[in-house]
Amino acid sequence: MAVDFRFIVIGRGMMGAAAAKYLARQTDGVAVIGPDEPDDRKAHQGVFASHYDEGRITRTIDPDRNWALLANRSIDRYGEIARDSGIDFYREVGCVVVAPTGGDYLEKTRQAAVSLGVETSLLDEQGLKAAFPFFAFPDGGAGVFEARGAGHISPRKLVKAQSLLAEKAGATIIRDHVVSIRSEGGSAVVETSDGLSHRAEKVLLAAGGFSIAENLLPQPVAMTVYARTVTLFEVSDADAARLAAMPSLILRAPGIDIYLLPPIRYPDGKFYLKIGGDPDDLALRDDTEMRAWFKTGGRDTVRAHLKRIVEGLVPDMVPLSISTAACVVSHTESGYPMIGYSSSPEIAVLTGCAGTSAKSSDEIGRLGAELLLSGRIGEQGYSTDFTPQFR
């Protein structure tokens, strides 16, 4: 039976847009299906994505070498992506990981960086105070600081850049969302919310948390989707200038497990300092719960928790306003993205962000493209093969 496309990528987020770009650069007949960001979240009836934001931490430093390598390879290509798309999405302000002295978290983080040839500085408690005087860290901590090749990206602009490059390479962009996928006669049939059907030789499902929705896979992926509440502190232009040297931060301490980004200018022209790190988990069981969650502003309990942390961590900052936003993270059983085929030889998956894949999305997308083009992921230097798990 004739097909409309050779490959269809379902999901135009950070992973999906990257996969579409790499596929289109190597073959004809590529489409990527995914909606634009909704103008009005509360009135929106379709799916959502977590990249509707201006700040995500990017860094190689990670206690897990596989995640460090995924990030390092992606970061190496940021310059090329920005140059070829004309979209500036990255700020190199550095990143510091702070945790209690004596644990293995910082040592594993440092060792992973060393194994990849990434330069870092190890800072004791006094070194942290001297390097970052605007932070009031909890006592008894130390830090690993990566000054180069680290900072923050705009996920919104990165998706725009990757989508543009995919289109420039010949990919067809279909601005809709998929409601079902099925294998039929040796190919895959994809139906969108507007009632249209598209047939392809292979389909790559890269729908983020919405990959757990019904009617997309022969068997559901073994993945848990959690609601997350991020909190945004509006800062004055004077505070933004005073905190201009602030790096991105990951902080682990008793009762605290957060990430924090320095003041970033958002589309409304204002500067916001962003923090995330829910103290507890709220699981979302299906796409209906996810849609409802994205229409909220997040949880007030998380806002209060993160407000207390910021007041202690950045004591000299006086926010002009405090707001929250809802997003989700997707956790797999392996702790890594799932990149592989379902029980159908026509339907593959590329999903599972673990709350840490934005910075690594270009490399994860490249691996997804390789899967469809070659039928498997070749030896890449990772200690995992990213095999998907299904329920």
- pLDDT tens-digit map of 128-154: 999 999 999 999 999 999 999 999 999
Mean pLDDT of residues grouped by 10 in the chain (391 residues)? 93 97 98 93 87 95 96 98 98 97 92 95 96 96 97 98 98 97 97 97 97 96 97 97 96 95 97 97 96 95 98 96 96 97 98 93 98 95 96 92
DSSP secondary structure code for residue 117 in this structure: T
Separation between Cα atoms, residue 296 and residue 291, nearest integer Å: 9
Let me know: does 183 contact 342? Beta carbons within 8 Å: no
End-to-end distance of the chain based on CA atoms, in angstroms?
31
Beta strand 197-205 with 5-10: parallel, antiparallel or unpaired?
parallel
What pLDDT sits at residue 149? 96
Beta strand 56-58 with 178-184: parallel, antiparallel or unpaired?
unpaired
Q: Would you give the distance in Å from CA 340 to the centre of its chain?
A: 19
What pLDDT sits at residue 288? 96
- pLDDT tens digit sequence for 341-382: 999 999 999 999 998 899 999 999 999 999 999 999 999 999
Separation between Cα atoms, residue 365 and residue 208, nearest integer Å: 12
Which helix (DSSP H) or strand (DSSP E) does residue 162 occupy?
helix 155-168
What pLDDT sits at residue 46? 87
What pLDDT sits at residue 274? 98
Separation between Cα atoms, residue 62 and residue 72, nearest integer Å: 10
Numbers of helices and strands, H then E, in the chain: 10, 20
What pLDDT sits at residue 41? 85
Separation between Cα atoms, residue 19 and residue 372, nearest integer Å: 10
3-state DSSP assignment of residue 282: strand
Beta strand 248-253 with 95-100: parallel, antiparallel or unpaired?
parallel
Transcribe 50-86 into DSSP letters.
TT-SS-EEE-S--SSHHHHHHHHHHHTTHHHHHHHHT
Let me know: does 71 contact 360? Beta carbons within 8 Å: yes
Buried (b) or exposed (e) across 84-117, using 16+ Cβ within 10 A? ebebebbbebbbbbbbeeeeebbebbbebbeebe
Task: Identify which of 278, 273, 277, 229 has the alpha carbon closest to the alpha carbon of residue 248.
Answer: 273
What pLDDT sits at residue 2? 85
Separation between Cα atoms, residue 154 and residue 189, nearest integer Å: 33
Q: Would you give the distance in Å from CA 15 to the centre of its chain?
A: 8
Which helix (DSSP H) or strand (DSSP E) does residue 275 occupy?
strand 271-276
257-265 long-range Cβ contacts below 8 angstroms, 24+ apart:
258/306, 258/309, 259/57, 260/310, 260/313, 261/55, 261/56, 261/57, 261/152, 262/93, 262/152, 263/235, 263/239, 264/54, 264/55, 264/91, 264/152, 264/154, 265/54, 265/240
Query: What burial class does residue 212 get, using C-beta atoms within 10 Å of its C-beta: 0-12 exposed, 13-18 middle, 19+ buried?
Result: buried
Separation between Cα atoms, residue 142 and residue 98, nearest integer Å: 6
